[in-house]
Structures are given as structure tokens and as C-alpha cells.
Structure 1
Amino acid sequence: MNFPWVIWPSLWYTFRNWIFANLIIRPYLDRDFTLSSFKSGAIQAIVHVSQELSKGNFGALEGFITKPSLEEAQNNYALLSLKQRLDLAVVAEDIFFCFPYQIGVIFTNEGGPKERIFVEITMCYHIFKGLQDHIESLVKTDGSGPLQGVYDNYDRISIANYRFIREFTKGVDDDWTVNVANHFKPGEYIQEQR
């Protein structure tokens, strides 16, 4: 999708996210909200959404992805090779690093009679296809640490940025929905630049 790549956490956003989560969202919008529980749910979401995207099963994604984002994903899917389509599928065990990059609270018609409140959270996932097999082979061959050599396998590494949105307006019962699902392989980009 047309979304700037997010690869690493930002110290400023990490601090800001803590403030939004603990001083705005939890006390005023959702008393049960925690970043750790959101992160767990977001991992389940990327697994489900990416598996369906990989199969081109867009009907199963209605209600999980906003309509404009689903249309964009459908258009982009047609341009992907078979390998790229298969690479979209993520399993939870292959996610070796993930973090909430940015939390935003959006007010529309602020102060007016039709004021609406939304929260957006952008998540970043670092994915290594076959991570468990890679770790086992490293341990068997040379006893090195489990993440040694992970970034040397750039062809098996991808990064996914998913942005979730939920309406918190009083009287509205809403669920978290994906409005950005962006998968990319930074290693391929680096190889193209050489």
C-alpha cells in the first residue's frame, strides 16, 4: 500500500505512545486498554489478515479491513507475482520483533454536537520465514545465539506495517479495523540499489 516504510521504533513516539495509552485512552476511552493486550491482538490480526490476503480471499476480510484499504489491497494484489503473494502469509512464530510505532487520537467536529473520536495505532512487525527452523539449525551447527545471522538472510525477512483504527465516540460500539496493510522486503530494495 502507499504508506511510508516504518522499520524501527522512535524514542519520541515510544514516549508519546505511553502517554496516549495510559493518560488518554485508558482513563477516558477504554478502561481495559493496555499496549500489551493490544499488541497480542494485533499479532493475531496480522496472522489472519495476511493469510487471507495471501490467498486473495478478499471476501473473508470484509469487516477486518476498511473498505478503501481493501480495494487498494485488491488492486495491488493483481500486480504481485505468485512468490510475492505467498510471502504475504505470516505465522505468529515467524514474528521475531514487533512494536507499536505510533498512536494517534483523532477528533472530528471537535466540540460540536457531532464530535467523533478515533484512535489509530500503527504496528510494525519484523518477520523471518521459517524462524524456528533457522534457530534450530543454528543451535545444531555451531551453538551460536538464536538471532545471530537472522539479518544476513535478507531474502527471508519482510516487514509489515499495519495501522488499526477504532471509533471511541460515546454510544458507538466499534472494533479495531485495519486501514493500512503494508508488506515489504527491505533486503530486496537494498539489493536493487547495488
Structure 2
Amino acid sequence: MQRITSLAACRELGGLAACSPGVRAWKRGPTVNKQPAVRRQWAQGSVRPFSGEPGAQCRRMCRRRVAFAGQKHRLLSSQPGADGPPGSSDGHPAVSVIGIPDPITWIRCKVIIFLIKLYFEVDVNSEEFHRGVKQALVHVSDLISSGRYHRLVGIVSNETIEYVEKTCRTLTNAQRQQLAVKMDDIIFMLPEDVSVVFDQHGRKLCFIVMRFWILSAHDGPDDPEATKIFKVASREDGGPQKKIVTAVYEFRRELTRGASPDWMVTTVWHWLWKAAE
């Protein structure tokens, strides 16, 4: 079974080489170790409180766009201009795929995503959702990097805003500015945990923890979760050597009938926070 799921996961990373500039084809490599994560079950229970760690909290979806709380004016779909100003991949180093994410986690998330679509008619495996979470990462990281925490209200949960502000106080201005992510810098992303929770008030809540692999020019230590999967070629133009780092964002949406279809960010974590410690 692990062999089969490994090959299935490889197909997603293999497609990365065909659709992403500067990314080379799949190479056989070691399997990434399974990440410890607090996981929710499909059972009656309370929503666990936010802890500030990756995966701590992890009607029908609109067919044309994915709505995020406080961002209804932003295009979150495949419409022209949805990604914002077109970026250039010029200057990006070549990236090789040398490993795969944990196949057991990958297949588990795929099964739960299928059940969510089957029972709640919400497709979180769609291109619209993927585009939406990428734009949420770009938008939220830009606000954090510039210190505009008040602009996160309505997009990010209050507990997460407090956690972000507290964490960023330990960073220099230069370190905080490095948190900003551009759309072209997103190399790959995968769901790390998917769950549906029934709380004591009868609400149905969907949590999706997404891990992003991002190109960064920071001069700190390598991110071990990135070096297991990707390898960045050395630059020959004398520019700063780029590395691949990870970011983990959790998105929540209420599935209860009559509830808002908006998604809210309930966990924010960047490797650069840990690298700056």
C-alpha cells in the first residue's frame, strides 16, 4: 500500500515539473518522515483551542470562486487577473524534486477530501480552492511583513492575530519583511491535515492545514522539511542564493446549513520564525 501511495504522490510532484518554471523532473529520493500533527476525527467533540503550532487547529461551494472572510472584493478564482499582477519567473534558480511527502498522510487527506465533497458538496481539491489559499498566503504574509496586523481582522482569527503579533515582536524589521510571499515564489503545496469537527453547539466545521514550499532569499538555516523534497541549484549570476522554506496555514469553514461560506485563516506559521530564534 505504501508503495502504491508513494507512486500516486509522485504524480503530483511530477506534474510540478511540467507546470512550474525552473522546476526539474522527478528524481527517486527518500520518503519524507511523517510530521507529528494533532489530528481531528470524524466524531462528536469540541473544537480544540488554538495553540500556535502547525496543525494545532486545523451548502455548497460557489462554483466560480472561493470566498475568504473579509476578502470578498478579491478575485479568488481562475478569472483573469485573479493572481494579481503577473509576476516573472526570471532569476529563479532551477529546483529539483528529490523526495516526496509522506504517502500515508497524502492518501489519508485525499480520502477525507473525497468524503467532504460527497457529504457536504464542498470541493477543496478544486483549482479554485488551490488558487484561493495561495492568494490568502500572499495577502496575509504581506500584511504581516509590513506590520499591518489590524488589516488581518476578519481574515484571520483573533487568537491567531495575537499569536502573530507576539511572535513578530521578536523579529527585526528585516526579518519580518522576509515573511512576505510572492505568488511566483510558491513552489508547491499539499494538505497536511483535513478534518471535520462537530462542536457542542451542533456546528460542523471543516479544517484544512496546508503546507506551502516557498522560495526565499533569507540567510538563515535550511528548512529540513524543504531539503527532504526539493534541491535548489546554485546561482551563477552572483545574486543571493535562494532556499526553499515552508509555511503552514490552516483554513476553517463552517459547513452548517445557513452558515457563511467564507474561509478563515486559523493558524499561521512560517519557518522563518523558527530560523530567527
Q: TM-score range by the shorter chain?
A: 0.7 to 0.9
Q: Tell me the residue number matched to 1:139.
A: none
Question: Structure 1-normalised TM-score?
Answer: 0.74
Q: Does 1:14 align with 2:116?
A: no
SS in 2 for 1:171: coil
- 1:23-53 CA distance string (max 9 Å, x none): x211222345434432221101000000000
Q: Point out the more displaced range, 89-98 or 31-40.
A: 31-40
Bigger helix share: 1
Q: Tell me the residue number matched to 1:51.
A: 142
Q: Tell me the residue number matched to 2:199.
A: 108
Q: Supply the distance in 2 between the matched residues of 1:42 and 1:108 (Cα, whole angstroms).
A: 25
Distance 1:31 1:187, change over 3 A: closer
Q: Tell me the residue number matched to 1:121.
A: 208
Deviation at 1:187, TM superposition (A): 9.7
Two-structure CA RMSD over aligned residues (Å): 2.9
Deviation at 1:2, TM superposition (A): 3.4
Q: Tell me the residue number matched to 1:170.
A: 257
Distance 1:155 1:79, change over 3 A: farther
Structure 2 unaligned regions, length at least 5 = 1-50, 56-99, 218-230, 235-239
Deviation at 1:64, TM superposition (A): 0.9
Q: Supply the distance in 2 between the matched residues of 1:186 and 1:179 (Cα, whole angstroms).
A: 17
Structure 1 unaligned regions, length at least 5 = 131-146
SS in 1 for 2:206: strand
The one-letter amino acid paired with 1:167 is: E
Q: Supply the distance in 1 between the matched residues of 2:274 and 2:123 (Cα, whole angstroms).
A: 39
Q: Tell me the residue number matched to 2:119.
A: 28
Q: Supply the distance in 2 between the matched residues of 1:58 and 1:95 (Cα, whole angstroms).
A: 23
The one-letter amino acid paired with 2:271 is: F
Q: Is the 8 A contact 1:158 1:186 kept in 2?
A: no
The number of aligned residues is: 166
SS in 2 for 1:80: coil
The one-letter amino acid paired with 1:87 is: Q
- 1:114-141 CA distance string (max 9 Å, x none): 41111111111111137xxxxxxxxxxx
The one-letter amino acid paired with 2:256 is: T
Q: Is the 8 A contact 2:232 2:243 kept in 1?
A: no
Q: Supply the distance in 1 between the matched residues of 2:274 and 2:199 (Cα, whole angstroms).
A: 39
Distance 1:37 1:78, change over 3 A: same
Q: Supply the distance in 1 between the matched residues of 2:166 and 2:216 (Cα, whole angstroms).
A: 25
Q: Is the 8 A contact 2:212 2:246 kept in 1?
A: yes
- 1:161-192 CA distance string (max 9 Å, x none): 11111111112114111111101149948xx9
Distance 1:9 1:106, change over 3 A: farther
Q: Tell me the residue number matched to 1:88.
A: 179
Q: Supply the distance in 2 between the matched residues of 1:65 and 1:154 (Cα, whole angstroms).
A: 32
Q: Which has the higher contact order (CA 8 A, sep 6+)?
A: 2
SS in 1 for 2:156: coil
Q: Does 1:183 align with 2:267?
A: no
